[in-house]
């Protein structure tokens, strides 16, 4: 009988998702429930030598599609190439997930509801072009939790397009996400900066851990179907503290660590905050009533509690998006007119 690992244990408590586009992780440790990605993950994955053909194929396809609806006049060829790259990389994970693959909207549209909605529609169209017949329900669009982003989520969910409110750091963002019907939220336990700045440590991570628990209890209390999917994790300890979240998305290094460590039941008494914080106070929904009626009020409430992390995350993802654009521009130069 095989020894039970920490990954096995985690799968008894939460739906385990992979926070990677590395196909070898799916083959070795899958299947996962969902696969999450973003511009940074796409940027680093597409630069692997074995994925060079995807850049070329994406540039070739963009050169053709850029003349057709819904792409013509909506964006440049490099921008479309970048969107195709992200879509192609994500679609490979349909074979290693039982539910959905998540594709992140362009962070440069984070403050535009109209552009975010159009971006989501393009991704859905690209999925059908690249993988005809794929159920729309297998695709989820990740959208930064700004006022404009949540307004976009509200429209898209009514259209039947699944959304995840990402880069989420505060209860007001969580409550608003549930109110507009997001399928998921991704509370960031750590500031995104921890993954890009060596030696940086987020000393407010305890707040992020607690937010995951409180948000989930809040959704259940209000009868919202929104699922909590903690993200931006940096250690096995953080993951084990969140065993019991609806979903949990885990980067490859930590998936490997969980799979390599035997599970000892006696060592996990009162490890999960979902077991410990049973009496945690859940906010009154009245505290967040009509918060999306006033963009300035919503933005001020977020900024008062997020330690600047939302803007920081959008800026970092925008830099990664720019990197994808530069790779796309270079690839397009090699494509025959």
User: Quick check: 222 and 241 in contact, CB under 8 A?
Assistant: no
How far, in Å, CA of 240 to CA of 16, rounded?
12
- Number of helices and strands in the chain (H, E): 14, 7
**How many Å apart are CA 123 and CA 129, to the nearest integer?**
10
Cα–Cα dist 160/46, whole Å: 30
Give the total residue count for the chain.
337
Which run of H or E residues covers position 138? none
Q: Maximum distance among all alpha carbons in the chain?
A: 65
Q: In angstroms, rounded to a whole number, what is the distance separating the alpha carbons of residues 174 and 169?
A: 8
d(CA 200, CA 31): 32
Distance of CA 320 to the CA centre of its chain: 15
CB atoms under 10 Å from CB of 145, counted, come to 31
Q: Whole-angstrom Cα distance, residue 221 to residue 12? A: 23
Question: Within 10 Å of residue 296's Cβ, how many Cβ atoms?
Answer: 8
Q: Which one, of 32, 40, 18, 33, lies nearest residue 194 by Cα?
A: 40
Q: Is 205 a catalytic site residue? A: no
Cα angle value 27/20/93 (rounded, 5°): 50
* Options 108, 142, 151, 309, the catalytic residue: 142
Catalytic residues: 142
């Amino acid at each position: 009988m095989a020894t039970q690992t920490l990954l096995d244990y985690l799968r008894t408590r939460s739906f385990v998702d992979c926070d990677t586009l590395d196909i070898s992780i799916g083959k070795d440790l899958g299947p996962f429930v969902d696969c999450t990605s973003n511009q940074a993950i796409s940027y680093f994955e597409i630069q692997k030598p074995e994925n060079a053909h995807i850049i070329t194929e994406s540039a070739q396809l963009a050169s053709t599609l850029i003349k057709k609806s819904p792409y013509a006049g909506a964006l440049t060829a490099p921008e479309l190439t970048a969107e195709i790259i992200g879509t192609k990389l994500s679609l490979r994970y349909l074979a290693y997930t039982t539910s959905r693959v998540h594709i992140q909207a362009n962070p440069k549209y984070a403050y535009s509801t109209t552009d975010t909605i159009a971006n989501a529609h393009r991704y859905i169209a690209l999925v059908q072009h690249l993988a005809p017949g794929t159920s729309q329900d297998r695709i989820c669009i990740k959208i930064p939790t700004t006022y404009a982003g949540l307004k976009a989520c509200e429209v898209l969910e009514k259209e039947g397009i699944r959304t995840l409110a990402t880069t989420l750091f505060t209860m007001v963002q969580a409550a608003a996400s549930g109110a507009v019907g997001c399928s998921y939220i991704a509370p960031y336990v750590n500031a995104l900066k921890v993954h890009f700045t060596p030696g940086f440590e987020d000393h407010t991570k305890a707040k992020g851990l607690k937010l995951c628990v409180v948000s989930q209890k809040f959704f259940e209390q209000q009868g919202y179907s929104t699922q909590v999917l903690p993200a931006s994790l940096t250690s096995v300890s953080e993951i084990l503290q969140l065993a019991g979240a609806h979903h949990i998305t885990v980067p490859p290094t930590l998936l490997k660590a969980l799979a390599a460590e035997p599970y000892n039941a006696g060592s996990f008494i009162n490890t999960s905050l979902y077991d410990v914080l049973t009496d945690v106070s859940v906010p009154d929904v009245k505290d967040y009533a009509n918060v999306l009626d006033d963009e300035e009020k919503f933005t001020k409430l977020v900024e008062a509690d997020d330690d600047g992390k939302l803007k920081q995350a959008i800026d970092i993802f925008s830099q990664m998006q720019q990197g994808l654009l530069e790779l796309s521009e270079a690839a397009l130069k090699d494509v025959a007119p």
